[in-house]
Structure 1
């Protein structure tokens, strides 16, 4: 089972929300992601929500490459 400290990854306005609410939130709900950066993600990749970002194939590819590198 995965766990995460939501206070460390979410903007203060989203820290008390449920996981489904956060997944439906704009990517700017993530700590350190500005509204402008969210707009750029939408323009470049069609990313509107945190869930969209999590499902982006390029994120998965990058994570797999990093895991391969860490395993050597």
Structure 2
């Protein structure tokens, strides 16, 4: 399993939280995602939490396509 530096992907307020807490956090817990971005994701796709974003079919489709592509 690959490791991830949580301080690089999370807002500072969330970097020390447990994984279950992070998954239930608003998407704005992700570094670079603003509260407004979170509102727009909820309006467009019903995404409220980090877990919702991870489960979004469009995200999974994009990841699958990227995995099939030659190294970029």
TM range (shorter): over 0.9
How far does the alpha carbon of each residue in 1:22-53 deviate from its partner, in whole angstroms, 9 at most, with x for none?
Answer: 00000000000000000000000000000000
1:66 and 2:70 are equivalent in the alignment: no
What does residue 8 of structure 1 align with?
8
Q: Distance in 2 between matches of 1:24 and 1:43?
A: 18
Q: Distance in 1 between matches of 2:34 and 2:25?
A: 13
More helix per residue: 1
Runs of 4+ in structure 1 off by over 4 angstroms are none
What does residue 38 of structure 2 align with?
38
Q: TM-score, normalised by structure 2?
A: 0.94
Number of corresponding residues: 71
Q: Helix, strand or coil: the match of 2:61?
A: helix
| RMSD between superposed Cα atoms in Å | 1.0
1:25 and 2:5 are equivalent in the alignment: no
Residue 68 (structure 1) shift: 0.8
